[in-house]
Structure 1
Amino acid sequence: MSRSSGFTEIDVPDQSGKCFIVTGANTGIGFEVSRVLAARGARVLLACRDQAKAEAAMAAIRQKAPGADLSFLPLDQADLASVGAAAELTAREPRIDALINNAGVMTPPLTRTKQGFELQFGVNHLGTFALTSLLLPKLAQTQGARVVVTSSLAHRGGKIDWDDLNAEKNYSRLRRYSASKLANALFFFELDRRLRAAGSPVTAVGCHPGAAATELGRYLGPLQLLLPLTRLLLNTAAMGAWPTLQASTAPVMPGNYYGPTGFREIRGVSGEASRSADARNPQIARRLWDASIAMTGIDPGLPPA
Structure 2
Amino acid sequence: MTSPRRPTRHVGPDQPRLDGHVVVVTGGSTGLGYFTSEHLARLGASVIIAARDADRAESARRSIELHVPGAQVQHVPLDLAHLDSVHDAGERLAALPRIDALVANAAVVALPDWSKPRAERGHRALTTADGLELHWGTNHLGHFALIAHLLPALIASGGRVVHVGSVIHSRVRQPADSVPRPDEAQSDLAKYARSKLAVMTFGFELARRLEAQRSRSAQRASSVVAHPGTAVDTLSPARAIAVNQPAVNPVTRTLVRSFAHGKHRGAMPLVTAAASPEARNGDYWGPSGWQQLRGRPARLSPHAAALDAEVAGRLITRSEELAGIRLPL
Q: Same fold (TM over 0.5)?
A: yes
Alignment counterpart, residue 148 of structure 1, candidates 143, 162, 172: 162
Aligned to 2:80: 77
Deviation at 1:288, TM superposition (A): 1.1
State the alpha-carbon separation in 2 of the partners of residues 93 and 164 from structure 1. 33
State the alpha-carbon separation in 2 of the partners of residues 227 and 20 from structure 1. 36
State the alpha-carbon separation in 1 of the partners of residues 174 and 8 from structure 2. 35
Report Cα offsets for 1:167-205 as digits up to 9, x if no partner.
344332121111111111101011111122122532001
Aligned to 2:67: 64
Q: Is the 8 A contact 1:158 1:181 kept in 2?
A: no
Aligned to 2:227: 208
State the alpha-carbon separation in 1 of the partners of residues 86 and 191 from structure 2. 22
Aligned to 1:280: 307
Q: Is the 8 A contact 1:8 1:239 kept in 2?
A: no
State the alpha-carbon separation in 2 of the partners of residues 214 and 163 from structure 1. 32
Deviation at 1:229, TM superposition (A): 6.8
Structure 1 counterpart of 2:272, one-letter code: Q
State the alpha-carbon separation in 2 of the partners of residues 68 and 147 from structure 1. 22
Aligned to 1:106: 109
State the alpha-carbon separation in 2 of the partners of residues 84 and 90 from structure 1. 10
Deviation at 1:166, TM superposition (A): 2.6
The structure that has the greater radius of gyration is 2
Structure 1 counterpart of 2:256, one-letter code: R
State the alpha-carbon separation in 1 of the partners of residues 311 and 253 from structure 2. 38
CA 1:103/1:163 → structure 2, altered by over 3 Å: closer, same or farther? closer
Q: Is the 8 A contact 2:151 2:328 kept in 1?
A: no
Aligned to 2:115: none
State the alpha-carbon separation in 2 of the partners of residues 104 and 163 from structure 1. 19
SS of residue paired to 2:98: coil
Aligned to 2:55: 52
Deviation at 1:27, TM superposition (A): 1.1
CA RMSD of aligned residues (A): 2.3
Aligned to 1:33: 36
- Match status 1:296 vs 2:329: no
* Structure with larger RCO (C-alpha < 8 A, sep 6+): 2
State the alpha-carbon separation in 1 of the partners of residues 10 and 30 from structure 2. 22
Aligned to 1:121: 136
Structure 2 counterpart of 1:152, one-letter code: S
Q: Is the 8 A contact 1:149 1:184 kept in 2?
A: yes
- Match status 1:232 vs 2:235: no
State the alpha-carbon separation in 2 of the partners of residues 113 and 129 from structure 1. 15
SS of residue paired to 2:231: coil
Alignment counterpart, residue 250 of structure 1, candidates 270, 276, 279: 276
State the alpha-carbon separation in 1 of the partners of residues 76 and 283 from structure 2. 28
Deviation at 1:65, TM superposition (A): 1.2
- Match status 1:260 vs 2:304: no
TM-score w.r.t. the length of structure 2 is 0.83
Deviation at 1:230, TM superposition (A): 4.5
State the alpha-carbon separation in 2 of the partners of residues 83 and 44 from structure 1. 18
CA 1:120/1:163 → structure 2, altered by over 3 Å: closer, same or farther? closer
State the alpha-carbon separation in 2 of the partners of residues 187 and 19 from structure 1. 23
TM-score w.r.t. the length of structure 1 is 0.89
State the alpha-carbon separation in 2 of the partners of residues 131 and 213 from structure 1. 27
SS of residue paired to 1:253: coil
User: 4+ residue stretches of structure 1 with deviation over 4 A?
Assistant: 161-164, 226-230
Structure 1 counterpart of 2:270, one-letter code: T
Aligned to 2:210: 195
Aligned to 1:165: 180
State the alpha-carbon separation in 2 of the partners of residues 131 and 198 from structure 1. 20
Which runs of no fewer than 5 residues in structure 2 stay unpaired? 1-6, 112-123, 235-241, 243-247
CA 1:227/1:281 → structure 2, altered by over 3 Å: closer, same or farther? farther
How many residues align? The count is 291
CA 1:298/1:63 → structure 2, altered by over 3 Å: closer, same or farther? same
Structure 2 counterpart of 1:122, one-letter code: G
Moved more, 146-155 or 286-295: 286-295
